[in-house]
């Protein structure tokens, strides 16, 4: 198989295991490209891509833009804060006006879960979901799996603990779907107030003790507390959260095995991770950032091949 089964990347739930493996294999080739002295290839020279972000972003937006430019695509950046959205324009009208300028693909981040799915049914361009509310963040899950594979090899049978604010995290849901499709065992860990009620129905283990989670896992993927999405207090204070769920190097060194430490960013140092843990030999956090460009290059390249 050399082509995706879908013309959009809306979520990991919607793609097959074969799609995921094809993206990861293609990303390995593009990682070799971006480490050359000349980092550019002409693969998408005739394609125009619009990055449409209705939420703040640093890593994801820069990573997509760099991936697009490495593939020689023409890039249009859109930010809702200084657009006609502020004047009451609808999402479909905004995107159709952009597409009228002959844009081929749309990378979109939106605060509303399902926004990319809605858009895919109403416009002709390929849609890539760069995060939709608390729903999914598919390219983050793909780059996380790619980074784990680089470090550990085949993920079948590997144990991955996702630790932190599971309730508000789109990264957690996409990672669960992706890791399960690749044969890994998944555990979620956090305060019970930050675990969704339905979480056990997804076929994951649930643990409330972070030390037990670290002893169980081969990989710890640590998530930040998403205060901007929380309408009520889910725990007494950040200090108390850090005391019970914060991970430091001493905890990692006390384990009777080496584990891999990951974080999708941005890190709240001193809350979910101490600086000595984030910067330790266990950490592959900066590898995740580098791999994000290669994985997003693979996604864009393969979706361009699936255009109708």
The string of pLDDT tens digits covering residues 169-189 is 999 999 999 999 999 999 999
Predicted confidence at residue 90, as pLDDT, reads 84
- Predicted model pTM: 0.94
- Determine what percent of the chain falls in helix, strand and coil, rounding each to the nearest 5: 45, 15, 40
Work out the mean pLDDT of the chain and round it to a whole number. Answer: 92
224 is in an annotated binding site: yes
Instruction: Report DSSP state, residue 223.
Output: -
60 is in an annotated binding site: yes
137 is in an annotated binding site: yes
3-class secondary structure, 104: coil
Among 79-93, 250-264, 270-284, 293-307, the range scoring the smallest mean pLDDT is: 79-93
Among 29-43, 95-109, 226-240, the range scoring the smallest mean pLDDT is: 226-240
Predicted confidence at residue 86, as pLDDT, reads 57
Cβ-contact 241, 191 below 8 angstroms: yes
114 is in an annotated binding site: no
Mean pLDDT in residue range 253-263: 96
- Find tokens 């081929």 and name the residue: 104
**Distance, CA of 14 to chain centre:** 15
121 is in an annotated binding site: no
Q: Which residue has better confidence, 79 or 160?
A: 160
Mean pLDDT in residue range 250-264: 96
Does the pLDDT of residue 116 top 70, yes or no?
yes
229 is in an annotated binding site: no
Predicted confidence at residue 56, as pLDDT, reads 81
Report how far residue 75's alpha carbon sits from residue 306's, in angstroms, rounded to the nearest whole number.
19
231 is in an annotated binding site: no
Predicted confidence at residue 95, as pLDDT, reads 86
Report how far residue 107's alpha carbon sits from residue 232's, in angstroms, rounded to the nearest whole number.
31
Instruction: Print the SS3 string covering 12-77.
Output: HHHCCHHHHHHHHHHHHHHHHHHCCCCCCCCCCCCCEEEEEECCCCCHHHHHHHHHHHHCCCEEEE
| H/E stretch holding 78 | strand 74-79
Predicted confidence at residue 230, as pLDDT, reads 57
Predicted confidence at residue 55, as pLDDT, reads 86
Predicted confidence at residue 14, as pLDDT, reads 92
Domains of the chain: 12-136+289-305 (3.40.50.1370), 138-285 (3.40.50.1370)
Predicted confidence at residue 99, as pLDDT, reads 85
Predicted confidence at residue 8, as pLDDT, reads 97
For the stretch 81-102, pLDDT in tens is 655 555 577 888 888 888 888 9
Among 87-101, 118-132, 254-268, the range scoring the smallest mean pLDDT is: 87-101
Predicted confidence at residue 71, as pLDDT, reads 98
Predicted confidence at residue 292, as pLDDT, reads 98
């Amino acid at each position: 198989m050399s082509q995706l089964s879908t013309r959009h990347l809306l979520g990991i739930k919607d793609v097959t295991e074969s799609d995921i493996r094809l993206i990861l294999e293609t990303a390995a080739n593009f990682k070799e490209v971006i480490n050359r002295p000349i980092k550019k290839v002409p693969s998408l020279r005739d394609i125009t891509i619009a990055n449409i972000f209705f939420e703040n972003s640093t890593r994801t937006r820069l990573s997509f833009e760099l991936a697009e430019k490495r593939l020689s695509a023409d890039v249009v950046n859109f930010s809702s804060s200084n657009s006609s959205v502020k004047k009451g324009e609808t999402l479909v009208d905004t995107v159709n006006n952009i597409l009228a300028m002959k844009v081929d693909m749309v990378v979109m981040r939106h605060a509303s879960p399902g926004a990319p799915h809605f858009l895919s049914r109403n416009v002709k361009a390929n849609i890539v979901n760069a995060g939709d509310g608390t729903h999914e963040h598919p390219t983050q899950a793909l780059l996380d799996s790619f980074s784990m594979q680089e470090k550990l090899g085949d993920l079948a049978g590997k144990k991955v603990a996702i630790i932190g604010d599971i309730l508000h995290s789109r990264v957690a849901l996409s990672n669960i779907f992706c890791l399960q499709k690749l044969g890994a065992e998944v555990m979620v860990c956090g305060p019970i107030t930050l675990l969704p009620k339905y979480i056990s129905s997804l076929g994951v283990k649930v643990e409330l003790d972070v030390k037990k989670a670290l002893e169980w896992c081969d990989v710890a993927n640590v998530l930040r507390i998403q205060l901007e999405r929380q309408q009520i207090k889910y725990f007494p204070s950040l200090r108390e959260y850090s005391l019970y769920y914060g991970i430091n190097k001493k905890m990692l060194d006390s384990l009777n095995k080496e584990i891999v430490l990951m974080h999708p960013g941005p890190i709240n140092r001193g809350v979910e991770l101490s600086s000595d843990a984030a910067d330790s030999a266990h950490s592959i956090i900066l590898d995740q950032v580098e791999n994000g460009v290669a994985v997003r290059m693979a996604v864009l390249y393969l979706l361009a091949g699936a255009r109708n």
